[in-house]
Amino acid sequence: MAITIPPNHPRAKAMRRMLLTVVTGSLVFLIPWIAYLSVSLPSSREVDQWDIAWVGFDFVLVGAIGMTAWSAWRRRQIFIPWAMITGTLLVCDAWFDIVLDWNTSDLWFAVLSAVVGELPLAALLFFAARRMLQLTIDRAWALTGHTGPAPRVSQVELMVTAAWLQRDHDSDGSDVQGRAGIDAARRAGNGVAQRVDAEA
């Protein structure tokens, strides 16, 4: 079974510093950039390749929906990120449809498609992704030998630094704590533990 990296490990520290630098730097850059665009961009503009832009976006959206459906049909964990990606694309689709059709006769159709189709589907995908993530946390909590309710999604640390997922290893490299958690889960009748044990 995979070994989590302790939070004081040099590689974990380097990964965290890099992530924080990139994300924080992007935030600092985007705030003044948005302010600049709000006063510099024109309210209307004639553009080329309008059809390619929308057809290309729809191709990406169809691909994301297809991957979401496939991963859900196959019951794969990759459903979680694909559901989040697809939900985000649907929200973007609704936003641009409404804003770009604001002063046209197509506005009513853009609003209708957003209210009836895009936004409800996005909400469903976000809910399903969060629910699947919580179930994954619940399983991991049980398999690592913890008792009581598992923490909520918003309370869980990143897996690479989560102290409650760290495992102790004996001299021959076997996963003592993780194995004990699997055995405890099996005794409780957890069928998932048997599949995890078989893959270990």
Span 52-74, pLDDT tens digits: 999 999 999 999 999 999 999 99
Q: Are 101 and 42 in contact (CB under 8 A)?
A: no
Q: Quick one: tokens of 154?
A: 């918003």
Q: Give the H/E segment covering residue 113.
A: helix 107-113
For residue 28, name the pLDDT band (cuts at 50, 70, 90): very high
Buried b (16+ CB within 10 A) or exposed e, 17-46: eeeeeeeeeeeeeeeeeeeeeeeeeeeeee
The total of other beta-carbon atoms located within 10 Å of residue 197's CB is: 16
Q: What is the pLDDT of residues 159-180, one digit of tens each?
A: 544 444 444 343 344 444 444 5
State the Cα–Cα distance between residues 4 and 17, nearest whole angstrom.
Answer: 18
Q: Which of 114 and 150 is assigned the larger pLDDT? A: 114
Predicted TM-score (pTM) of this structure: 0.71
**Bigger pLDDT: 4 or 100?**
100
